[in-house]
Amino acid sequence: MAKALVVVESPAKAKTINKYLGRDFKVIASMGHVRDLPKSKLGVDIEAGFRPEYVVLPDRQKVIKELKDAAKAADQVFVATDPDREGEAIGWHLAEELGGTKKKIRRLMFNEITKKAILEAMNHPGDIDMRMVDAQQARRVLDRLVGYKISPILWDKVRRGLSAGRVQSVALKLVCDREREIEAFVAEEFWHITARLAGAEPPEFDARLMRKGDAAVKVSREAEAKAILDDLSRASFVVSSVATKERRRHAVPPFITSKLQQASRFPVKKTMMVAQQLYEGIQLPDEDAPIGLITYMRTDSVRVAEQALDEVRAHVRSAFGEAYVPEQPNRYKVKSNAQDAHEAIRPTSMRHTPESVRAYLTPDQFSLYRLIWNRFVASQMTAAVFDDTTVDISAGEYVFRAKGSVPRFAGWLAVYQGTGEAEESERTERPAAKAAGADSDEETTSGVLPALSEGQALDVRAITPEQKFTQPPPRYNEGSLVKALEENGIGRPSTYASIIGVLQARDYVNKVEGRFRPTILGRRLVDRLLHPVFDDILDVEYTARMEDQLDNIEKGKADYQDTLSSFYKSFQKDLTRAAKEMPNFKEGQPTGITCDKCGQGEMVEKAGKFGIFLACSRYPDCDNTKELEPAEAPAEDLEETCENCGRPMVLKRGRFGMFLACTGYPECKTTRKIISTKQGMAAAKPDQILDEKCPNCGRNLVLKQGRFGEFTACTGYPECKYVKQKSTGVACPKDGGDIVERKSRRGKVFYGCANYPKCDFTLWNKPVPEPCPKCGWAFLTEKITKRHGRQLICANEACDYVRSADLEPAATEA
């Protein structure tokens, strides 16, 4: 019988820790939160000092019973949940539920899941930190008050299913503000004039026009550029000054959560999921149990333990040499509002290099682990040193400038060796992009410059004018939105993924080429529904101050009840005002636009299942409606007529996005999908009736455009549901049926027997009708990887035959 019970959050974590602690301990996973506020009501007793009314989650009843039984049989009970506010709150909920055992429940804290860290935590157990619990509860109650008090008003004024979260609303405002900047932006023309020059020795280099006399040159029109070119045609180019100075590029700190989310090539949600896997444990062959490869991945502190600093410095000395090790460890400043409970994200051991563990990781795990490893190692290396040379060149009244940069010592950049990750790491430390304006006075950087001296005459190879236009600020992608939230003090590392997820799930933003564009619904929510009544909720500084208050609760500098009371006093007044003043989109909001169908009614904005649209105020006498949501391409670029009745088709929005619908609806119900092409958005091809007959019912087949591309099906649908599948020409090894190309529900291609469901044979790799020259198996499979390119592999798992697809079998065997 186990002497002690340890409760963690996830099964993977439980499995790892159980192996470290041995048979005297029983480790059980709570599967995350076991209690929460009820879904059916507010669940907060405002009169009783904002006391939360928790209930056990229905799907955690069985886990709670198992935990209670185990706690009764154990001599000691420990909670070992994650080392942050959310983990502390889960630990407290567990302690509350297990309190009937009358045993003192202790708290285990560790920043990494390694044997040493777990045993160290067992030797120094602590207690639940109620200040951290109060901080988490305050956030939960604030979010519940905002969500459950504003949402019913939105349901009454717009439609059910809408929500206005405390933090998500500010994030949405950032996206909407950026869209307004883009719409208001007016491009300005400007010109760069670049001279291609040559000295006495190669290489040739470029220099850009900078000044005329002592004044900076701003060329805004072609006529000005031509006048300058005319002046320069008579000028001699002479070196007027050469200045060389040393420049140092210092390494950036190890990752915190937000910086990892920005630097990762994955979406924020996936980044955190993969990081969780690396934290909870990976089984390596030289370890008795799975071992956590990285420290806890939810942190906003750049602090690193002294022992880890000693290890990484020893690694740098061994891998790169003494010159790459700074005299003292690099120490980075922790932000004033950072929760410094645990370290930066780093590898748990320098023994586990990315390449040494690559075979035991998925490609995604390896990619993220290498990113974390490289950043941590680089953070404790010496600066990279460059020799920067600036050359000013006189051409009559004009002055051109060229800059060259020559690396003298690689320093921390040696870790990256041209992977591009160094630039990504540095980018996360720069301020978020602001509104774009006129192009800055960029200086031409030529790389390596030839040996030049003052007074030296230069040969002119070419003088090139280049027309440019200022660019609007870019829309936010996931990384830049996280950066903006972080810089404005909105939310915390653990909340960024959920904030972005909610904005998309509620249809407040769409992703266009990987960047967020607010929908009309999202914009109306910010501009007309929440503004001006709930301006506090939308105010960036107000939300940031509230985050500071939550931090102060954790630090013991603010009181839970006082903080919530102060917020609710003002919020309650806003709720009363909103019920009266918030515009009603169910009734319709006037636009001043006359209906183009009946000529009598006014078009009003109304809320529907798929967002905000225009409708005639004379409905049902006039059923005219128009799509408000901007398409990926202007409607005039998609002028199409119905192939069935000849009437014009119009853009509509449905469950799966934009589509074309016949204006003759409901008499004609023809629709066409909008698809993305290299040239932009286009209407899908009309259905094409084929001469080929359906093998099941004898009717003609039709070529259609589906959600995942073209497919051929029976015209008798839905009576006949035959779909023609693409044959690979390979017979199924199970029943001899044809192996065909199929697609999963998410559109991913795989290969399976055409006799499904009678035969369940499937392959992820494409079968190739070529027998294996080594074992004689009936076919090979095609596998394409970045590392090896296209390979042909034997489909027989017992055979190790593999060759490059470019080689003939005989050449491989030879």
Active-site residue list = 296
CA 782 to CA 301: how far, in whole Å? Answer: 46
Alpha carbon distance 492, 550 (integer Å): 11
* b/e burial code for range 336-351 (CB count within 10 A of at least 16 → b): eebbebbbbbbbbebe
List phi, psi (to 5°) of 588: 110, 135
Is 149 strand, coil or helix? helix
Work out the number of other CB atoms within 10 angstroms of the CB of residue 89: 22
The residues near 200 (Cβ < 8 Å, ≥ 6 apart) are 450, 451, 456
For 412, phi and psi rounded to 5 degrees?
A: -65, -20
For residue 69, give every residue at least 6 positions away whose Cβ sits within 8 Å of its Cβ, in sequence order, or none.
Answer: none
Contacting residues for 241 by C-beta, under 8 A, at least 6 apart = 390, 391, 392, 454
- Between strands 237-249 and 215-216, the pairing is unpaired
CB 529 within 8 A of CB 153: no
Which long-range CB contacts under 8 A does 329-337 form with residues at least 24 apart? Answer: 329/304, 329/380, 330/251, 330/379, 330/380, 330/381, 332/253, 332/254, 332/302, 332/379, 333/302, 334/301, 334/302, 334/303, 335/300, 337/489, 337/547, 337/548, 337/551
Give 323's DSSP letter: G
The angle subtended at Cα 450 by Cα 445 and Cα 456, nearest 5°, is 105
DSSP 472-528: PPPPP-HHHHHHHHHHTT-S-GGGHHHHHHHHHHTTSEEEETTEEEE-HHHHHIIII
Q: Which of 101, 89, 98, 97 is nearest to 128 (CA)?
A: 89
